[in-house]
């Protein structure tokens, strides 16, 4: 499979919403205005493409010097288990560099994926969940 990766390229909210839907990730894919704001508000996006088809997406918020929150990591279901998630995460790590801590909240079904990639889990995280 010839997958191409891009960093911070312009993205069509509809394509991102469709990717969210076909990946199985729980995101507001019916609310295109919110998806557009999620894209515009990101500091870092990494995308995976098969030709012109968006097949993987990572979205992060960072100050580029100390911390980075990886909010979304999604790979289209038909493309999962082909190392695309690994590639996206690796590029996020490369982009933010060694001085930045990467933080994320795993979906229940993705915990093993992050463990396999060597990320450390913690019981020191606290969260105020969004209400809508
Ligand atoms: C989680 C996700 C991003 C992983 O992407 P992917 O491209 O399928 O993962 P990779 O192919 O890079 O997998 C890397 C390793 O993790 C394993 N792995 C991937 N997903 C896994 C899962 N859900 N459970 C257990 N192991 C998993 C792979 O088998 C592979 O193991 P190996 O190196 O021993 O072969 C992708 O499955 C996805 O989009 N899932 C739905 C949305 C989601 O849960 N996103 C995470 C939100 S926090």
Residue pLDDT, tens place only, 31-82: 999 999 999 999 999 999 999 999 999 999 999 999 999 999 999 999 999 9
CB of 102 closer than 8 Å to CB of 92: yes
Residue 23 within any structural domain of the chain? yes
On the question of pLDDT at 86 being above 90, the answer is yes
Give the H or E element holding residue 22. helix 13-23
86 in contact with ligand 1, CB cutoff 6 A? yes
CA distance 123 to 103: 13
Domain that includes residue 80, residue range: 4-116
Residue 130 within any structural domain of the chain? no
Distance 109 CA to ligand 1 centre (A): 9
Give the predicted TM-score (pTM) of the model.
Answer: 0.97
Mean pLDDT of 95-110: 97
Domain count, the chain: 1
Pocket test for ligand 1, best of 78, 85, 112 (most atoms within 8 A of CB): 85
Looking from the CA of residue 106, the nearest atom of ligand 1 is 48
**Through-space distance between the first and last CA atoms of the chain, rounded to whole angstroms:** 38
């Amino acid at each position: 499979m010839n997958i191409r990766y891009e960093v911070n390229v312009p993205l069509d909210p509809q394509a991102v919403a469709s990717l969210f839907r076909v990946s199985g990730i729980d995101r507001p894919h019916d609310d295109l205005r919110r998806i557009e704001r999620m894209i515009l508000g990101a500091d870092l996006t990494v995308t995976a493409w098969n030709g012109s088809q968006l097949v993987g997406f990572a979205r992060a918020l960072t100050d580029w010097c100390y911390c980075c929150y990886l909010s979304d990591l999604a790979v289209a279901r038909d493309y999962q288990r082909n190392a695309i998630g690994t590639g996206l995460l690796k590029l996020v790590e490369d982009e933010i560099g060694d001085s930045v801590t990467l933080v994320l909240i795993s979906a229940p079904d993705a915990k093993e994926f992050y463990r396999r990639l060597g990320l450390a889990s913690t019981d020191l995280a606290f969260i105020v969940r969004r209400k809508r």
